[in-house]
Amino acid sequence: EDLLRRAPIKTDVIAVNRSLKNKRVLITGAGGSIGSELSRQILKSEPEEIILLGHGENSIFDIENELKRRASANRIKTTVTPKIADLRFRERLGSIFDECKPEIVFHAAAHKHVPLMEANPAEAVSNNIIGTRNLVELSIEHQVDSFTHISTDKAVNPTNVMGATKRVAEMIVLDAAKRTGKNFNAVRFGNVLGSRGSVLHTFKRQIAS
């Protein structure tokens, strides 16, 4: 907290609860550090269903079981549905939309490590841009009420591949908002404490050694 020098954002919990209660909510990248925390917070609003979509089976398995334990302990009747899929495969993604019919989408799936994406730009483009485009187009087709794209401060005047691909992803989402008039939006996160993509882990290891 001392390193970041910024106050935590205050959330209007009542408004959030009202918007999520009894809704079918899809979270991409649900096994990641940001996606999994989103799913924990969303569970508190008692949606009808949380669809946990991710590429890594172990992380999805872990968050699925954690949410089911939390739901049982707090007598929450939310259905927790795990889905293993890659956003780059539109047909597979479309089958999930057909089956689950999500009303709200939180898009947290992305390649986030700056040096790795510099070395693997094709992966950054295919995952962060094409994956986002597939998700946005399917959300429009299935008349999703609300779409929130979790972006990054690296998208501001980007100087690296990861930031550039996230900026293009933002533009895809904002273009959808203009074309449909629906609540398609992007929110930029800076270095998030606890995020697996954060430089703060590197700082902590350096301090420890």
Compute the CA torsion angle 27, 13, 185, 129 (nearest 10 deg): -30
Type of residue found at 40? R
Between CA 95 and CA 104 the distance in angstroms is 17
Check if 166 is active-site: no
Residue 121: strand, helix, or coil: helix
SS3 198: coil
Q: What are phi and psi for residue 45, nearest 5 degrees? A: -85, 0
- Collapse the DSSP code of 177 into the 3-class scheme (helix H, G, I; strand E, B; otherwise coil) and give the result: helix
Which residue of the set 154, 166, 178, 182 is catalytic?
A: 154
Closest CA to 105 of 130, 76, 135: 135
Which residue carries 């094409």 as its tokens? 130
Question: Can you give the length of the chain in residues?
Answer: 209
Secondary structure letter of residue 154 according to DSSP: G
Active site residues: 154
